[in-house]
Amino acid sequence: MDEGRFDEEEYEYDIVGFRKTWDVCYADDYGSFEEITVPSGRYTFRPAPKYAVCENVLQIFSVKVTQLKEEEGLHWPLHVYGSMATRDSADPRRNLFFHRTRDNCQIVTQEDPFLLLTGPSRAVVLIDPVTFEVELKAKCKTESEDKILNFGVFDYRHQGSLQVPPFITTRSSSCKRSELEFTVALLPRSVEATICVKVIRGSWPDHYRGRVISRTASISHGGVVLLDTRYGKMSVKRYGVVELLRNVVSVESGGQLKVSVVASQVDDEENVIAEGLVDFKPKTAGETFSNCDLGFCLMRFWIHWSLPCSVDENVGLQKHVV
């Protein structure tokens, strides 16, 4: 987003000030403020460095609009675009978990106020506080009329003990037009799982809604929505590859990853046609797979395992030419 297009008075110091500070600290070594972090699976198929270990990571479950201040000119439904990202001590560059252009905005309603997350692209490492950036706008009739929905920067610091089982907590980002609620959990000593799904026999009917959700055994009541086709058919690409919205999650090294798939009627999610569940024991590298038979099709779930991006590796650090 073009910094000059926004009224600094509306979102005060946060984004502008954070950008200036980041540029001073990191631009010479990591490039521009908009640079994206490394992808997942860094150590899946290559030897991990000695200093790479299971890390404490932050799992992002959901983000929803909890308050909309209509007196500030916004009304349901919202046509949302923009970005949300984290930055951590493993890599100061953006780790996007929501990104939409104005031409591809998401319609958010009061009945369904959740944003469809598209990341993060790698595990979010929680050693030092994790920084969240929010730059969201609501689309209006013309681009010049578009309004800031929520802009801001905040740090997540874990306030509980690492000795107790993981629990879900919330953080908020407030501005004069809205409030967002982030649902997250700290997972201690975890590995990174990149999930791939393929239809290997049969096909997914166009009139079936598809939902793919991952869970860890330690937080069975909290799921990460990897795909929810909602009002349309399942997107199946070449060779049967299912296009997930999210595909990177974290799981404790001694825990268990569960991935479920549910097929229901497009216009009635309570009318479940078929469902299945696959379980995986975490690994620090390599891949595992498991099949799930829904009757009308056979799906295969692949997991690419990796240790999280290491803080000591200086990933993406640019080498200067003298």
Q: Which of 27-41, 104-118, 152-166, 223-237 has the lowest mean pLDDT?
A: 152-166
Note the maximum CA span of the chain.
65
- Enclosing H/E stretch for 24: helix 14-30
**Average pLDDT in the chain:** 89
Which tokens in the block code for residue 6? 């926004």
Parallel/antiparallel/unpaired status of strands 106-108 and 78-88: antiparallel
**Of 38 and 231, which is predicted with more confidence?**
38
pLDDT surpassing 90 at residue 270: no
pLDDT confidence band for 320 (50 / 70 / 90): very low
Distance CA 319, CA 322 (A): 9
Mean pLDDT within 139-143? 93
**Of 319 and 320, which is predicted with more confidence?**
319
* pLDDT at residue 184, as a whole number: 96
Mean pLDDT within 8-32? 80
> What pLDDT, in 10s, does the model give residues 47-71?
999 989 999 999 999 999 998 988 7
* pLDDT at residue 6, as a whole number: 42
Q: Which of 28-32, 219-223, 286-290 has the lowest mean pLDDT?
A: 219-223
* pLDDT at residue 7, as a whole number: 46
* pLDDT at residue 2, as a whole number: 41
pLDDT surpassing 90 at residue 140: yes
Mean pLDDT within 270-298? 95
* pLDDT at residue 166, as a whole number: 79
Query: 238-277 burial, b if ≥16 CB within 10 A, otherwise e?
Result: eebebebebbbbbbbbebebbbbbbbbebeeeeeeeeebe
Q: Which of 11-25, 51-65, 118-132, 209-223 has the lowest mean pLDDT?
A: 11-25
